[in-house]
Amino acid sequence: MANANNIAPLPATANVLDVSSLATLKRQAGRGDPAANKEVARQFEAFFLQMVMKSMREATPREGVFDSDQTRMYESLLDQQLAQVLGGGNRGTGLAAMIEAQLARQNQDPRPLHGPFPLQVDAPAFSVSREHALPLQRDAAPAFVPLQNLPLAPAAPVPPTTAPVSGSATTQRAFVDRILPAAVAAERMTGIPAHFMVAQAALETGWGKFEPRRADGSSSFNIFGIKAGANWRGATVEATTTEVIAGLAQTRVERFRAYGSYDEAVGDYASLLVSNPRYAAILGAQEPDRFARGLQTAGYATDPQYAAKLESIIGGATLRQALAGWTA
């Protein structure tokens, strides 16, 4: 009798010579049926057990009148059938149950999105790492006019603008004022446009709101999230960060470098890019996608969306408005 989904019930233990049952299983597995998921998981565990027994057979010395091609053929069939009997259920290794649970999660119905879809990627809280991450492929965001020819300017005050700005825009403009002069100097060392580096600092710190703090509450001036490795001999500060490991976000407390000023922080960041061969491909990058993807490919961060977020800030109106007083 067919079940509610018109899928025939699967046998408790398949015969290795029954090709038709395996073909039926292949058709049913694509439908996401729980019974088919259970059988797929059991078959996979049986295959695993078969490979184990095959390895054991190959490691066992063979001699005597019973050692022949015919004997090995029937022995192989016996091992396959034993694997089918032993795999799955309470008698198995537990591998089938884990695979079945994974298949069930993959076949869940998608959940509807409630509320409007965000059109602008917001800068996240302080979240960095130095481990490799997969590069993200997407169209390049529009670039600004390069700032190579801008003269060095004092960190404060900011050149005034005539247009009124909101409180949020004032905060972002103040962040740019603090680090842009040093970024212009770093541009001369790396060839990377200064506003690219400003955008990355904005991404790492949420426009300065999430800079790692010392124990007394003062800033470490670490705006690029550079960790303090074994070779770092300067001051350090501990901060909570999020790493994406095997696709899962994990919160950790890590040690980061601490500086005496933003100029020192930007200078150390530029030295890192110039001295580390991993970042050779992005030196002199003039395209936002080349810069952002190059950082992610080199392992600057574990966030799989890092390049997309950075491109969004580089090509976004927020950075353009914050730089208005400098690019006018």
- List pLDDT tens digits, range 313-324: 999 999 999 998
268 is catalytic: yes
pLDDT bin (cut points 50, 70, 90) of residue 117 is: very low
pLDDT at 161: 37
CA-wise closest residue to 85 among 49, 36, 40: 49
Domain layout of the chain by residue ranges: 19-106, 167-327
Res 198 pLDDT > 70: yes
- Give dist(CA 66, CA 4) in Å, integer: 51
Among all chains, which residue has been given the structure tokens 């066992």? 60
What b/e string do you get for 11-39 counting C-beta neighbours within 10 Å, with b at 16 or more?
eeebebeeeebeebbeebbeeebebbbbb
Summarised one tens digit per residue, pLDDT across range 217-232 is 999 999 999 999 889 9
243 is catalytic: yes
pLDDT at 194: 95
pLDDT at 28: 59
By the 10 Å C-beta count (0-12 exposed, 13-18 middle, 19+ buried), 239 is classed as buried
Res 111 pLDDT > 80: no
- Give dist(CA 233, CA 5) in Å, integer: 66
Contact in structure between 322 and 328 (CB atoms under 8 Å): no
Res 256 pLDDT > 60: yes
Q: Which residue has the higher pLDDT, 206 or 45?
A: 206
pLDDT at 244: 86
Contact in structure between 289 and 310 (CB atoms under 8 Å): no
Average pLDDT score, the chain: 74
pLDDT at 139: 40
- 102-112 average pLDDT score: 60
Share of the chain above pLDDT 90, in %: 41
Which residues are 251's β-sheet partners?
A: 242
pLDDT at 160: 38
Name the helix (H) or strand (E) containing 194. helix 194-205
Which range (102-106, 129-133, 287-291) has the least confidence? 129-133
Q: Which residue has the higher pLDDT, 150 or 302?
A: 302
- 142-153 average pLDDT score: 40
Which residues are 266's β-sheet partners?
A: none
Res 234 pLDDT > 70: yes
CATH architecture of 167-327: Orthogonal Bundle (1.10)
pLDDT at 181: 94
pLDDT at 61: 74
Q: Which residue has the higher pLDDT, 99 or 292?
A: 292
Residues near 86 by beta carbon (within 8 Å), at least 6 away in sequence: 46, 49, 92
Summarised one tens digit per residue, pLDDT across range 202-220 is 999 999 999 999 999 999 9
Among residues 187, 243, 289, 303, the one annotated as catalytic is 243
In this prediction the pTM is 0.51
**CA 172 from chain center: how many Å?**
27
Q: Which residue has the higher pLDDT, 202 or 106?
A: 202
Summarised one tens digit per residue, pLDDT across range 163-192 is 334 457 788 999 999 999 999 999 999 999
Residues near 219 by beta carbon (within 8 Å), at least 6 away in sequence: 211, 212, 213
Among residues 79, 263, 268, 289, the one annotated as catalytic is 268
Maximum CA pair distance of the chain? 100
